[in-house]
Amino acid sequence: MIEKAELQKLGRLAYLSLTEQEIEAFQSELNHFFSMVQIMHSIDGKYDLNTVQPFVHPYAQYQLLREDRAKVVEELEQFQEVAPEIKEGFYIVPKVIE
């Protein structure tokens, strides 16, 4: 059973400001969800999960990397066109240090 205090903590971890009404709705919905998820544990009797590797990739079992070569990409202006606030090429955020 997930308590309200735990949901408030999850909201802080996820950087989501939640209203009391939302907390109440999520409490019921998440508890319902995690009771449904319990079916996942019904597999314990059928398999020895200690011998099963967690899934990595459906097909290729390796991480593909690009060639490690430096290139100049001049896209700053293009990307900053969609920024909420910029100044002299910097993204402006609220002042956090007095």
Partner 1 sequence: MRDKSIRQLGAALEEKQISAVELANYFLSEIKIRDRFNAVVYTDEEQTLAAAKLSDKRRAKGERVHILEGIPITYKDAFCQQGWPTTCASKSLKNFVAPYTATVVARLQAAGMVPLGRTNMDEFAMGSTTETSCFGPTLNPWDQTRIPGGSSGGSAAAVAARLCPVSLGSDTGGSIRQPAAYCGITGIKPTYGLVSRFGLVAYASSFDQPGPMAKSAEDLAWILGVMAGFDCQDSTSINHPVENYEKSLKLPLKGLKIGVPREFLHESLDDEVQHTYDQMLLLLRQLGAISVDVSLPNLEQGVAVYYVLTAAEASSNLQRYDGVRYGLRSEQFEDLIDFYSQTRAAGFGKEVKRRIMMGTYVLSHGYYDAYYVKAQKVRSLIAQGFQQAFEECDVLLAPVTPSVAPKLKAYEADPIQMYLSDIYTVLVNLAGLPALSLPGIYSKQGLPVGMQLIGKHFKESQLLNIAYQIQQNSDWHLASPV
State the number of CA atoms in the 13 A half-sphere of 18 facing the CB: 21
Q: Could you say whether residue 59 binds partner 1 (CB under 8 A)? A: yes
Q: Could you say whether residue 32 binds partner 1 (CB under 8 A)? A: yes
Give the angle subtended at the CA of 91 by the CAs of 90 and 94, to the nearest 5°: 125
**Does residue 76 contact residue 89 with C-beta atoms inside 8 Å?**
yes
x-or-dash string of contact with partner 1, 12-31, rule CB under 8 A: xxxxxxx---x--xx--xx-
Q: Which of 1, 45, 54, 69 binds partner 1 (CB under 8 A)?
A: 54
- Look up residue 83 and give its amino acid: A
- Please report the sign of the dihedral spanned by the C-alpha atoms of residue 48, residue 49, residue 53, residue 55: positive
Q: Among residues 65 and 70, whose Cβ is nearest to partner 1?
A: 65
For binding to partner 1 (CB under 8 A), which residues are involved?
2, 7, 10-18, 22, 25-26, 29-30, 32-34, 36-43, 47, 49, 52-55, 57-60, 63-66, 75, 78-79, 81-85, 91, 93-94, 96
